[in-house]
Amino acid sequence: MGRSLWTLLQRDLALIVMRRQDVLTVVAFFVIVITLFPLAIGPEPERLRTIAPGAVWVAAALASLISLDRLFADDWRDGTLEQLALSPQPLALVALAKVAAHWCALSLPLVALSPALGYSLGLTGSELAVLALSLLIGTPVLSLLGAIGAALTLGVRAGGALMALLILPLYVPVLVLGAGAVTEAMYDSAFQAHLSLLGAGLAVALPLAPLAIAGALRIALD
């Protein structure tokens, strides 16, 4: 079972990497959204520094949302998803493998890039480390929650906009805790509490979200 899931993970990664365009689009989206903040708010370093954690986190949440749009759509359209659902592996684990591949290919680049963007908004030193760490813990939760939305909106009219309406409210806790950790770090106070809670969120989402995704996929395949 482990081997076939590993194969699925590799296949999904290979598919995403083959279409490098997709990865680049999401990364470019992330950078552009962050660029909009200084343009809209003004270039004063102090002001930018205050909004930096929120800006990077909002951009990451939106990038995660738009990249998840097609997580299951291609496999659903060509029938691969049906085959995966019929395979002996539990659908929840299949979903987890797909989300993991998606996160490695599309969210890790954002995490890696985040210190540079944080620096451009005026964050320094350890704040950048906290920013990257909070994104490292938080973006998997975003991917897991977003995957539920992607599965629920499979084959539904106006899928993309609907998915934003369904999923963004569920993103709220992650956003609050993630951006909160960085803000705490800026004031030299205890940011570990936020990161711990974020980790707790990941620990809860990791076993539960795949079950919800599998349930939603079954509804879509019915």
Partner 1 sequence: MSARSIPWLKYAAPPNFYGLADRLTPWLWAGAGLLFLVGLYVGFFVAPVDYQQGNSYRIMFIHVPTAWMGMFLYLLMALYGMIFLVWRIRMADAMARAIAPTGALMTFLALWTGALWGAPTWGAYWVWDARLTSTLILLFLFLGYMALHAAADDRDKGGRAASLLAIIGAVNVPIIYFSVNWWYTLHQGASVIRRDGPSMAPEMLAALLIMTAAFWLYCAAIVLRRAQLEALEREPGAEWAQAAAAGALTREQRERAAATATIGDVGDHDEGDTLTGNTATKQEGRN
Distance in Å, CB of 151 to partner 1, minimum: 9
Nearer to partner 1, 32 or 82 (CB): 82
Query: Cα(136)–Cα(199) distance, rounded to whole angstroms?
Result: 10
With binding defined as CB under 8 A, does residue 219 bind partner 1?
A: yes
Site for partner 1 in 53-82 (CB under 8 A): none
- Over the window 139 to 168, marking each residue x when it contacts partner 1 by CB under 8 A and - when it does not, the resulting string is ---------x---xx--xxx---x--xx-x
With binding defined as CB under 8 A, does residue 51 bind partner 1?
A: no
In the list 9, 27, 31, 176, the residue contacting partner 1 (rule: CB under 8 A) is 176
Cβ neighbours around 212 below 10 Å, total? 18
Query: Cα(151)–Cα(143) distance, rounded to whole angstroms?
Result: 12
In the list 97, 177, 182, 202, the residue contacting partner 1 (rule: CB under 8 A) is 177
Nearer to partner 1, 5 or 154 (CB): 154
Distance (Å) of CA 95 to CA 90, 113, 119, 142, 174: 9, 26, 35, 15, 21
Nearer to partner 1, 5 or 201 (CB): 201
Distance in Å, CB of 131 to partner 1, minimum: 17
Which phi and psi angles does 152 have, rounded to 5°?
A: -70, -30
Q: Which residue has the tokens 């194969």?
A: 7
With binding defined as CB under 8 A, does residue 216 bind partner 1?
A: yes
Query: Cα(183)–Cα(52) distance, rounded to whole angstroms?
Result: 9
Q: What is the CA radius of gyration of the chain?
A: 18
Contact at 8 Å (CB) between 151 and 216?
A: yes
Cβ neighbours around 41 below 10 Å, total? 13
Q: Which residues bind partner 1 (CB under 8 A)?
A: 148, 152-153, 156-158, 162, 165-166, 168-170, 172-173, 176-177, 180, 183-184, 197, 201, 208, 212, 215-216, 219-220, 222
